[in-house]
Amino acid sequence: MADNDLKYLEEKIGKEGFERLKRINNPALHSFLAKYLKLCNPDRVFVCADTPEDFEYIRQTALKNGEERRLATPGHTIHFDNYGDQGRDKKNTGILLPKGKKLDEAIETKDRDTALQDIHEVLKDIMKGKEAFVCFFCLGPTNSIFSIPAVQLTDSSYVAHSESILYRPGYEEFVKQGPNARFFKFVHSQGELDERKTSKNLDKRRIYIDLEEDIVYSANTQYGGNTIGLKKLAMRLAINRGSKEGWLTEHMLIMRINGPNNRKTYFLGAFPSLCGKTSTALLEGENIVGDDIAYLRKIDGVVRAVNVEKGMFGIIQGVNSKDDKYQWEALHTPGEIIFSNVLVTPEGYVHWIGKDGEIPERGENHSGEWYKGKKDANGKEIPVSHPNARFTIDLRMFRNLDIEALHDPNGVEVGAIVYGGRDSDTWVPVEEAFDWVHGIITKGASLESETTAATLGKEGVREFNLMSNLDFLSIPISKYIEANLKFAEGLKRVPKIFGVNYFLKDKNGQFMNEKTDKRVWYKWMELRVHNDVGAIKTPTGLIPEYEDLKRLFRQVLEKDYSFEDYTKQFTIRVPEHLAKIDRIVNIYKTKVIDPLPIIFEVLEEQRKRLLEYQKKYGDYIKPEQLR
């Protein structure tokens, strides 16, 4: 069998590429590649061994075949996805479930046998006439307990290019690990393309995750969230693997908050898409380590985390020179950046929703030729860029990258974990949980968010999204929560847990905070991690004292923070909290298989506290009433 695979690969790939594969002593890898090259049947195969020439070849191919086009700024390119392929396709993304296994209803699944047959039919000869790329990456730092090698087979030079920006090269890691590599595998084809070089057969879009073989299949789509195998597709495989081995895969940013006297405290943050995650990771005055996915392990009694990636697939909507200094600067620097689904002007510059300056009169965007006032087939005005338009960039292009932390094989010690969603009316801007269990249950496992453009479907609907990880779960919800709860057992230092809310609105529907206010919340949390400031106990957690915030607003933002603003923002909204508990309890009772009793216990304790306080202080409790 192994000999046959090698023989086939040699014939199909040619000498140079084959020699590269042979250097990796791993029959399972060879047999995987032989199987899927046979099935997809490309005309040519390029094997990437991570030399500078290899990466240049991928970049040039993306330009040559029109998946990307050059922009005016050197190194910048534009890629378009099909108008109907602008976000993660939840409906067609599924975990393959063998007969007899069950997952919660909120997790999209497909019958494994049927789906495998289906995807093999879809993939048959799908790469005919095309070139395939075989690329090797390492999830997490190389040479580390966190490292997971991964191989990508794709016929999209855009996908291969994006991954070379986003992930650490992994060819040498494969060579080093040889037969011991327990690697993830990704097969992707963009399928037939239209004249704009976007995937045409969206009706045959498939994203299937097979946990049994650690393979993800993706076909007839280009949007990064559906195709960049190492991102959200690998995340499902990693959640499954981690759950068996006692470590966690989280949809979390990693950042360094700089405390007093050069103290460095590392934070993790979980936010659903389009809820300020990237702008938090790039907070002015602090340092980014990662903006999307983290692996967490317990090492020597503390929680340590790594960024799975080395680049960013960031949302560009709303990025402006005032609120997003580092992003603004990086996006205007020559260097390797792939913009996707933004407007390109005839001069080769880009524009997006919420960018500084005038909206250009015309150009080309995700809808094709675009002019101000253009409407779609349903008469809806098409904005200058898609709300989920993105940019792909190496983190090195950010001035505030903590590069040592990024590549530390041992990761960083986690001081705090922050959960936040798009919540117009319930949570205060920042609140500390009483302890780990209270935080995991009332913050993480109770996370809700009003929907955004990052997934296809209606916007603005409040949805349950525990730990902002629901879309990526590959194990039962209860098992996932249990793994989170247990994670703190036996630790000598337990990270603090906080909830934040950047989206609180007043009665008139206006946001109550400026975007930059979050800089203050993080400085406050940093001080709390080290017990440097006090806090006010409320029925739902611990909130800041006015004097501390007032001082921090002055120090960080040079702003006066009024007692009136503080009171409005930090008023405990009892009826909204009670309604939230009702919603969450109902979800766990009706939608979750075998819910953990501790969830109800902790939520009921919180309800009891809220009712007691309500009796004493009324529906809306001002912080000063609790001091």
Residues assigned a catalytic role: 275
Rounded alpha-carbon distances, angstroms, from residue 299 to 247, 250, 598: 10, 17, 26
Work out how close the CB of 70 gets to Mn ion at its nearest, in angstroms, rounded to a whole number: 28
273, 385, 469, 501: which one binds ligand SPV (CB under 6 A): 273
Asked if 421 is part of the footprint of ligand SPV (rule: CB under 6 A), the reply reads no
Candidates 170-178, 211-219, 291-299, 341-349: pick the segment binding Mn ion (CB under 5 A).
Answer: 291-299
Work out how close the CB of 122 gets to ligand SPV at its nearest, in angstroms, rounded to a whole number: 21
Of 115 and 467, the one with the shorter C-beta distance to Mn ion is 467
What whole-number distance in Å separates Cα of residue 602 and Cα of residue 257?
30
Rounded alpha-carbon distances, angstroms, from residue 424 to 301, 315, 494, 503, 576: 38, 21, 30, 5, 10
Give the residue carrying structure tokens 């002593």.
Answer: 25
Interaction pattern, residues 433-472, with ligand SPV; x per rule: CB under 6 A: ---------------------x------------------
Of 232 and 573, the one with the shorter C-beta distance to ligand SPV is 232
Of 135-164, which residues contact ligand SPV (CB under 6 A)? none
Give the residue carrying structure tokens 């001080």.
Answer: 527
Q: Which two tokens stand for residue 622?
A: 């001002």
Of 273 and 442, the one with the shorter C-beta distance to ligand SPV is 273
Considering CB distances under 5 to 8 angstroms, the limit depending on partner class, which of ligand SPV, Mn ion, none binds residue 163? none
Considering CB distances under 5 to 8 angstroms, the limit depending on partner class, which of ligand SPV, Mn ion, none binds residue 231? ligand SPV
Of 81 and 292, the one with the shorter C-beta distance to Mn ion is 292
Of 55 and 472, the one with the shorter C-beta distance to ligand SPV is 472
Report DSSP letters for 511-568, one per residue.
BSS-GGGHHHHHHHHHHHHTT-S--EEETTEEE--HHHHHHHIIIII-----HHHHHH
Of 226 and 243, the one with the shorter C-beta distance to ligand SPV is 226
SS3 for 354-407, per residue? CCCCCCCCEEEECCEEEECCCECCCCCECCCCCCCCEEEEEHHHCCCECHHHHH
Interaction pattern, residues 347-386, with ligand SPV; x per rule: CB under 6 A: ----------------------------------------
Considering CB distances under 5 to 8 angstroms, the limit depending on partner class, which of Mn ion, ligand SPV, none binds residue 574? none
Asked if 225 is part of the footprint of ligand SPV (rule: CB under 6 A), the reply reads yes
Of 462 and 551, the one with the shorter C-beta distance to ligand SPV is 462
Work out how close the CB of 184 gets to ligand SPV at its nearest, in angstroms, rounded to a whole number: 16
Do 155 and 42 touch, CB atoms closer than 8 A?
yes
Candidates 113-121, 131-139, 262-270, 290-298: pick the segment binding Mn ion (CB under 5 A).
Answer: 290-298
Work out how close the CB of 336 gets to ligand SPV at its nearest, in angstroms, rounded to a whole number: 18
Residue nearest to Mn ion (CB): 292
231, 236, 256, 304: which one binds ligand SPV (CB under 6 A): 231
Of 426 and 449, the one with the shorter C-beta distance to ligand SPV is 449
Do 252 and 189 touch, CB atoms closer than 8 A?
no
Candidates 4-12, 224-232, 510-518, 561-569: pick the segment binding ligand SPV (CB under 6 A).
Answer: 224-232
Residue nearest to ligand SPV (CB): 225
Q: Which residues contact 590 (CB under 8 A, 6 or more apart)?
A: none
5, 155, 173, 292: which one binds ligand SPV (CB under 6 A): 292
State the DSSP H helix or E strand holding residue 577, giving kind and residue range, or none if neither. Answer: helix 574-591
What whole-number distance in Å separates Cα of residue 508 and Cα of residue 495?
37
Candidates 207-215, 223-231, 553-561, 608-616: pick the segment binding ligand SPV (CB under 6 A).
Answer: 223-231
Phi-psi region of 484 (alpha: psi -120 to 50; beta: other; left: phi over 0): alpha
Candidates 89-97, 292-300, 327-335, 409-417: pick the segment binding Mn ion (CB under 5 A).
Answer: 292-300
User: What helix, strand, coil percent values describe the chain, rounded to 5?
Assistant: 35, 25, 40
224, 229, 383, 415: which one binds ligand SPV (CB under 6 A): 224
The torsion of the CA quartet 615, 607, 464, 588, rounded to 10 degrees, works out to -150
Considering CB distances under 5 to 8 angstroms, the limit depending on partner class, which of Mn ion, ligand SPV, none binds residue 304? none
Do 420 and 275 touch, CB atoms closer than 8 A?
yes
What whole-number distance in Å separates Cα of residue 154 and Cα of residue 533?
52
Candidates 158-166, 225-233, 398-406, 422-430: pick the segment binding ligand SPV (CB under 6 A).
Answer: 225-233
Taking alpha carbons only, the member of 68, 36, 150 closest to residue 339 is 68
12, 76, 232, 386: which one binds ligand SPV (CB under 6 A): 232
Q: Is the dihedral of CA 548, 550, 551, 557 positive or negative?
A: positive
Q: Which two tokens stand for residue 361?
A: 């009169």
Buried b (16+ CB within 10 A) or exposed e, 165-177: bbbbbbbbbbbeb
Rounded alpha-carbon distances, angstroms, from residue 490 to 243, 256, 445: 17, 25, 21
Of 224 and 387, the one with the shorter C-beta distance to ligand SPV is 224
Q: Return the number of other C-beta atoms located less than 10 Å from residue 430's C-beta.
A: 27
Question: Nearest 5°: phi and psi at 290?
Answer: -165, 160
Q: Return the number of other C-beta atoms located less than 10 Å from residue 159's C-beta.
A: 29
What whole-number distance in Å separates Cα of residue 387 and Cα of residue 342?
9
Of 29 and 281, the one with the shorter C-beta distance to ligand SPV is 281
What whole-number distance in Å separates Cα of residue 450 and Cα of residue 528?
29
Considering CB distances under 5 to 8 angstroms, the limit depending on partner class, which of ligand SPV, Mn ion, none binds residue 454? ligand SPV
Considering CB distances under 5 to 8 angstroms, the limit depending on partner class, which of ligand SPV, Mn ion, none binds residue 224? ligand SPV
163, 292, 423, 548: which one binds Mn ion (CB under 5 A): 292
Considering CB distances under 5 to 8 angstroms, the limit depending on partner class, which of ligand SPV, Mn ion, none binds residue 313? ligand SPV
Using CB under 6 A as the criterion, which residues of the chain lie in contact with ligand SPV when the complex forms?
A: 88, 224-225, 231-232, 273, 292, 313, 454
Using CB under 5 A as the criterion, which residues of the chain lie in contact with Mn ion when the complex forms?
A: 292
